[in-house]
């Protein structure tokens, strides 16, 4: 196991389509761990892995753009409310957006079941010991899901505030959910994640009266880390701010498609980050 990323050598990727039907996946193979030759070898490996991922992400992006599909990479720590937000979105606006979802989790199809019950087309990707989705996994998910032209695709990434920020999936926008129950310090503690965000949804704001959460400080810290990121307070339980989330999606649907999110490499990566596996991407 790579001690930096946490992705296991024997991680097995599994893709589940509608009704929990399993499709062949592939493992994180071709690992090239070398913790003895210094930081230069590690950085070279990182660059090689991310370059391969980026090539496949561009293929995903081209495929999505050709079909007029808005793809959103939804990221957060575990329990921040990604699936609950998507359930409400599917029920209230799923038909309008033609919403489809790729669910990423290490194990189980529980979240995919919740999304499907809300009336949304969904594919579950289980990453095994892997702690994030990558472009190759998303390509498999697209093959199974086959979202409709002109629709909105939300990729719910594995709950993790570190590694998902490194990997371009072919998305056109990145949304990070920050729950008020996590504390207000997350933008400063996990700057790569928030630096990569186009939108930050401050979730579970209905609980603010019961918490010591400084919304002004949180907003100021986010501005320091990511000056261009928008922030919207939401509660998927009460519906507060949900209409603003839907409007954000509507505006994104109207915006011209880009080849890659502006400033992606600068916002989402630093030389100190390390990746410890290698997908063979032709």
* pLDDT class of 272 with cuts at 50, 70, 90: very low
Residue 275 lies in a domain: no
Select from 148, 146, 143 the least CA-distant residue to 98: 148
Read off the pLDDT of residues 48-72 as tens digits, 9 standing for 90 and up: 778 999 999 999 999 999 999 999 9
Full residue range of the structural domain in which residue 127 is found: 14-260
CATH (domain of 25): 3.40.50.300
Q: How far apart, in whole angstroms, are the C-alpha atoms of residue 132 and residue 127?
A: 7
CA diameter of the chain: 54
CB 72 within 8 A of CB 173: yes
Residue 8 lies in a domain: no
The tokens of 229 are what? 């990121």
Q: State the pLDDT at residue 24.
A: 64
Residue 106 lies in a domain: yes
Lowest average pLDDT, out of 42-51, 215-224, 226-235, goes to: 42-51
176 has which bridge partners?
75, 200
152 has which bridge partners?
70
Task: Give the count of domains, the chain.
Answer: 1
Report DSSP letters for 35-62, one per residue. Answer: -SS-HHHHHHHHHHHHHHHHHHHHHHHH
Q: How far apart, in whole angstroms, are the C-alpha atoms of residue 121 and residue 270?
A: 35
Residue 110 lies in a domain: yes
Residue 226 lies in a domain: yes
- Does residue 282 have a pLDDT over 90? no
For the entire predicted model, the pTM comes to 0.82
Residue 271 lies in a domain: no
Read off the pLDDT of residues 161-185 as tens digits, 9 standing for 90 and up: 999 999 999 999 999 999 999 999 9
Residue 98 lies in a domain: yes
**b/e map of 221-258 (b: 16 or more CB within 10 Å)?**
bbeebbeebebbbbbbeeeebbeebbebbeebbeeeee
């Amino acid at each position: 196991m790579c001690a930096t990323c946490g992705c296991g050598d024997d991680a097995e990727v599994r893709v589940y389509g509608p009704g929990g039907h399993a499709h062949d996946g592939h493992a994180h193979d071709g690992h090239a761990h070398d913790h003895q030759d210094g930081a230069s070898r590690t950085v070279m490996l990182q660059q090689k892995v991310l370059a391969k991922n980026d090539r496949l992400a561009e293929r995903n992006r081209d495929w999505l753009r050709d079909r007029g599909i808005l793809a959103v990479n939804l990221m957060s720590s575990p329990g921040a409310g990604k699936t609950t937000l998507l359930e409400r979105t599917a029920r209230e606006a799923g038909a309008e957006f033609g919403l489809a979802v790729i669910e990423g989790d290490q194990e189980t199809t529980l979240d995919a079941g919740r999304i499907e019950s809300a009336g949304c087309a969904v594919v579950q990707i289980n990453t095994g010991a892997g702690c994030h989705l990558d472009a190759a996994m998303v390509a498999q998910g697209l093959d199974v899901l086959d979202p409709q032209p002109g629709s909105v695709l939300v990729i719910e990434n594995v709950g993790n505030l570190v590694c998902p920020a490194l990997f371009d999936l072919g998305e056109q926008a990145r949304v990070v959910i920050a729950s008020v129950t996590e504390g207000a310090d997350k933008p400063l503690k996990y700057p790569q994640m928030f630096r990569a965000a186009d939108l930050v949804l401050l979730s579970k704001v209905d609980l603010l009266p019961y918490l010591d959460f400084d919304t002004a400080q949180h907003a100021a810290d986010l501005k320091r880390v990511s000056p261009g990121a928008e922030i919207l307070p939401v509660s998927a339980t009460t519906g507060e701010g949900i209409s603003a989330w839907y409007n954000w999606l509507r505006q994104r649907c109207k915006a011209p498609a880009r080849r890659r999110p502006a400033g992606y490499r600068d916002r989402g990566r630093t030389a100190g980050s390390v990746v410890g596996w290698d997908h063979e991407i032709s």
